[in-house]
Amino acid sequence: MSSLVRANSVRFDEDSFWVELSDGRTLGVPLAWFPRLLRGSSAQREQVSISARGLHWEDLDEDISIEGLLAGRGDQTRPRPKAGVA
């Protein structure tokens, strides 16, 4: 069913973001789950694009799927290895 659910809107408060879904639910997600959003400015966070698959922030290089949010997954990216570290 999650593939049929879409985001209708996104809003932010100090610690979380809130996603209004097409099925009437509202998801509250801690910004700490997504470090790029946490470090971004309020203006950058507000520049979200909503698509059938999820949420995208161009300036923050962040993509979040609705499916992942519904599954309770946070940031799935791995830190880049430091130069000179094997």
Q: What is the pLDDT of residues 39-80, one digit of tens each?
A: 999 999 999 999 988 999 999 999 999 999 999 999 987 655
Please report whether residue 77 resides in a domain: no
| Count of CB atoms situated within 10 Å of the CB of 26 | 11
What's residue 3's pLDDT? 61
Domain assignment of residue 52, given as a range: 2-70
pLDDT exceeds 60 at position 32? yes
This model's pTM is above 0.85: no
Per the domain annotation, does 83 fall within a domain? no
Q: Is residue 85 part of a domain?
A: no
**Is 53 a domain residue?**
yes
Domain count for the chain? 1
Sheet containing 48-50: which strands, arranged edge to edge? Answer: 48-50, 54-57, 62-65
Please give the pLDDT value at position 15: 95
Confirm whether 21 is domain-assigned.
yes
What are phi and psi for residue 65, nearest 5 degrees?
Answer: -85, 145
Decide if 35 is inside a domain.
yes
pLDDT of 2 > 60? The answer is no
Q: What is the overall mean pLDDT for the chain?
A: 89
**Spatial separation of the C-alpha atoms in residues 70 and 5, rounded to whole Å:** 10
Question: pLDDT value at position 1?
Answer: 42
CATH code, domain with 61: 3.30.2020.40
Per residue in 36-61, is it b (16+ CB within 10 Å) or e — as a string?
bbeebeeebbeebeeeeebbebeebe
